[in-house]
Amino acid sequence: MMKKFIFAVLGALVFSMYSVYADDDTQVYRYDGLDSLLTQFYVALEPESIDVKNREFDGLISTCTDSLTRQHVTLRVLNHYMHARVMGEEAVAIHIFDQWLKSGKVEATSEFEYMEAEMFANCNRRSLIGMTAEKIDLLKPSGRKMTIPEDGKIAVLFFYDTSCAKCRLETMVLPEVLSEVDFPMNFYAVYVSDNKRDWKAFRRNFKIKNKNVRMVHLWDPEMDSGYHLAYGVTGTPRMFVVWSDGEIIGRRLEVENLKEIINYIKIANEEE
């Protein structure tokens, strides 16, 4: 099945090379067929590992002998995986950026486009699925320093802002989701802003009653920990799940995704 897609995409690439010099009125449409095939190619590759995806797209881009077609394919693939629906596929976008744009083999269409891709890569490359979660030093409400995630327990890192509407909505739903946890878990609620009064009021309402879940409220008002780059916190909310050995098993999660991971862990524990 995959080979059929590859041949189809390659055929479209060959066709597009002959269309480079089309009239201005038709140039905007010359990649429509290719883009449609790329969309099918993304779906066909979903079950494959990140390494397989990287190899397939490197091979595909390499076949583009025409610079405009190579640029188009590279940027389309990059954009798709920058906004990946499947958790963990962001790693493909980082690979494409490093391999093709950063290396200078392909040029972005603008300086802004390059900067956007570079920022995405730099803000996500340190917290990908399967990596060891970086330790960061944050402050408790008392002012005491705490290094997270701690070893030995499954952990959730939840980065939020009190002014974020989606964060407030998620904190209303999270207590119910976390009530289902029947294994030891640390839940680190990390406030990303610096308004101590708002933070205190928010903490008063954001509580977990499940004894299996240890909630720890933290912040870094001076941003000394570097959590923004370590976990790609360019917006809120951001949620990660870290296994007891430190491996990142969930990133940029919605509450529903967290619920699925909790259920998976419960089933895995029952089977042991």
219-238 pLDDT per residue, tens: 999 999 999 999 999 999 99
In a domain, 33, yes or no: yes
Task: Return the pLDDT at 21.
Answer: 47
CATH code of 219's domain:
3.40.30.10
Task: Return the pLDDT at 30.
Answer: 72
> Which residue, of 87, 102, 124, is where some domain finishes?
124
Residue 28 scores a pLDDT above 70:
no
Among the ranges given (11-25, 165-179, 196-210), the one the predictor scored with the smallest mean pLDDT: 11-25
Residue 29 scores a pLDDT above 80:
no
Query: pTM for the whole thing?
Result: 0.87
Residue 40 scores a pLDDT above 80:
yes
Task: Return the pLDDT at 20.
Answer: 47
Tell which residue, 243, 234, 224, 79, has the closest CA to residue 152: 243
Quick check: helix, strand or coil at residue 186? strand
Cα–Cα distance list, 242 to 3, 48, 58, 264 (Å) = 36, 23, 30, 14
Taking the CA of residue 235 as centre, how many other CA atoms within 13 Å lie in the half-sphere pointing to its CB? 6
Same domain for 175 and 240, yes or no, is yes
Tell which residue, 92, 91, 81, has the closest CA to residue 129: 91
Same domain for 71 and 149, yes or no, is no
Among the ranges given (25-29, 54-58, 83-87, 108-112), the one the predictor scored with the smallest mean pLDDT: 25-29
pLDDT tens-digit map of 106-152: 999 999 999 999 999 999 999 999 999 999 999 999 999 999 999 99
> Which residue, of 124, 144, 167, is where some domain finishes?
124
Residue 15 scores a pLDDT above 80:
no
Tell which residue, 257, 265, 228, 237, has the closest CA to residue 85: 257
For the chain, the domain total comes to 2
Task: Return the pLDDT at 176.
Answer: 95
Q: Decide which of 169 and 27 is more confident.
A: 169
Task: Return the pLDDT at 128.
Answer: 96
pLDDT tens-digit map of 179-191: 999 999 999 999 9
Task: Return the pLDDT at 4.
Answer: 60
> Which residue, of 91, 124, 157, is where some domain finishes?
124
Query: Across the chain, where does the E strand assignment appear?
Result: 136-139, 145-148, 154-160, 185-191, 213-219, 238-242, 248-250
Give dist(CA 121, CA 115) in Å, integer: 10
pLDDT tens-digit map of 240-259: 999 999 999 999 999 999 99
Same domain for 120 and 189, yes or no, is no
> Could you give the strand order of the β-sheet that contains 213-219, starting from the edge strand earlier in sequence?
145-148, 136-139, 213-219, 185-191, 154-160, 238-242, 248-250
**The total number of residues written for the chain in this structure:** 272
Task: Return the pLDDT at 5.
Answer: 61
Give dist(CA 64, CA 72) in Å, integer: 10
| Pairing between β-strand 145-148 and β-strand 136-139 as defined by DSSP bridges | antiparallel
Domain limits for position 34: 2-124
In a domain, 131, yes or no: no
